[in-house]
Amino acid sequence: MSLEENIAQQLMITEYQGKIQNRELFISGPQIIESFTFVSFLDIQKLSVKYSFNIQHVSQISNDNVTELLISGCKTDSVAEFEFERLQILHLIDDELAEDSLVNISKFTILIELDLSYNKKTGISHLQTLVHLKKLCLCGMGLKDISALAHMAGLEELNLKFNKGVCIAPLQQLVQLINLNLYEAQLTDIEVLGQLRNIQYLDLSYNPDIDLSPLLGLKLLSSLTLFGNNVKDLAIISQLTALQELNMSFNRGVNIHSISRLSRLVKLTCYGNGIYDLSELSSLKYLAGLDLSYNSVFDISPLQYLQNLNTVNLQQNFITDFRPLQKRNTFKITFGKQQRASVSEILFWKKLNAIKINSKRIKNCFEFIFESKFKTKVNCVLQKQYCEHKQFSQILVQLFTQADNQNQQ
Q: What is the rounded distance in angstroms from the CA atom of residue 126 to the CA atom of residue 109? A: 13
Burial 21-41 (b: 16+ CB within 10 A, else e): eeeebebeeeeebeebbbbbe
Handedness of CA 188, 194, 196, 198 (dihedral sign): positive
pLDDT digits (tens, 9 = 90+) for 93-107: 998 888 888 888 988
pLDDT tens digits, one per residue of 155-179: 999 999 999 999 999 999 999 999 9
Q: How far is CA 217 from CA 2, 96, 241, 256, 375, in A?
A: 66, 40, 11, 22, 53
- Spatial contact of 289 and 310, defined as CB atoms under 8 Å apart: yes
Q: Is residue 202's pLDDT more than 90? A: yes
Contact 105, 80 (CB under 8 A): no
| φ/ψ of residue 334, rounded to 5 | -120, 135
- pLDDT tens column, 47-80: 888 876 555 555 456 788 899 999 888 877 667 6
Confidence of residue 333 (pLDDT cuts 50, 70, 90): confident
Every domain of the chain and the residues it spans: 222-317, 326-409
C-alpha 225/C-alpha 230 separation (Å) is: 12
How much is the average pLDDT of 225-246? 94
CB 177 within 8 A of CB 199: yes
Q: What pLDDT does residue 339 have?
A: 53
The hierarchical CATH code for the domain 222-317 is 3.80.10.10
pLDDT at 57: 54
pTM of the model: 0.83
